[in-house]
Amino acid sequence: MSYRTLYLGSTNPAKLDAVQAVFTPDQGFTVVARSAPSGVADQPRSDDETRTGAVNRAHWLVRQPGVELGLGLEGGLVDHAGDMWLCNWGALATSRGHLLVASGARIPLPRELAQSLRKGGELGDVVDSWSGREGVRHREGAIGILTEGEVSRADLLGHIVRLLFGQWRYLGESRVS
Ligand SMILES: O=P(O)(O)OP(=O)(O)OP(=O)(O)OC[C@H]1O[C@@H](n2cnc3c(O)ncnc32)[C@H](O)[C@@H]1O
Ligand SMILES: [Mg+2]
């Protein structure tokens, strides 16, 4: 069997777990993690900026020689209904010019966290010092802490990856060769 390679635009293990759970060898895929520039702030602060970060990563990947399929995932913050919410976006680009986009579930952040984030900084760093843990962004994520382990960052991103994979399958025969 010949495998298709899916490039992920990040080496973050939580993102890689989410992608490897969907783009499996059984489905005919190998996954390669390669840091891709998001072209937006390290901490995006709107849906638009977060989606753009995911799309830029995916597009950057398919501009590299030999890359057929590029997937970008981006985490961000959104002000909504008086709270600051955690959001995530994903994009899957093909070298044939298709672009599929999806966003994930979101939850409001505790006021205390939102307050420090309004002063600047990245959610990953703020959550580490707030929770007294290290490297939360690479493991359970803020979402894992805020849901008592019920939903991990990989779970949250996994749903987005499935939405992308499903849309790509729906494209059918017109997808990449
Ligand atoms: O190496 P990359 O792919 O950039 O991985 P990252 O962890 O920085 O992830 P993003 O750039 O997609 O996310 C932007 C910021 O939001 C943070 N973030 C998003 N979701 C998070 C979560 O569930 N837990 C902790 N930090 C999160 C993340 O750590 C960054 O500071
Ligand atoms: Mg980042």
ipTM: 0.95
Ligand 1 pocket test, pick from 125, 137, 143 with the greatest ligand atom count within 8 Å of Cβ, gives: 137
**122 in contact with ligand 1, CB cutoff 6 A:** yes
Q: Has domain 4-108+152-174 been given CATH number 3.90.950.10?
A: yes
- The rounded Å distance from CA 141 to ligand 2 centre is 13
Mean pLDDT (whole number) for 31-54: 98
Question: Which protein residue has the closest C-alpha to ligand 1 atom 20?
Answer: 75
In this predicted structure, what is the pLDDT of residue 177?
A: 45
In this predicted structure, what is the pLDDT of residue 23?
A: 98
Q: Is 169 exposed, middle or buried (0-12, 13-18, 19+ CB in 10 A)?
A: exposed
| Other beta carbons less than 10 A from residue 107's beta carbon | 14
Distance CA 107, CA 87 (A): 8
In this predicted structure, what is the pLDDT of residue 3?
A: 86
11, 34 in Cβ contact below 8 A? Answer: yes
pLDDT beyond 60 at 173: no
In this predicted structure, what is the pLDDT of residue 102?
A: 98
Using DSSP, state whether 10 is helix, strand or coil.
Answer: coil
Q: What are the pLDDT digits (tens) for 85-144?
A: 999 999 999 999 999 999 999 999 999 999 999 998 899 999 999 999 999 999 999 999
How many residues does this entry show for the chain?
Answer: 177
Mean pLDDT (whole number) for 9-32: 97
**117 in contact with ligand 1, CB cutoff 6 A:** no
Mean pLDDT of the chain: 94
Mean pLDDT (whole number) for 144-163: 96
Mean pLDDT (whole number) for 52-57: 98
4, 67 in Cβ contact below 8 A? Answer: no
Which residue did the predictor score with more confidence, 177 or 172? Answer: 172
Output the CA–CA distances (angstroms, integers) from residue 122 to 12, 45, 49, 89, 98, in the order listed. Answer: 15, 10, 14, 16, 31
- Strands 69-80 and 83-94 turn out to be antiparallel
Instruction: Characterize 44-53 residue by residue with b for buried, 16 or more Cβ atoms within 10 angstroms of its Cβ, and e for exposed.
Output: bbebebbbbb
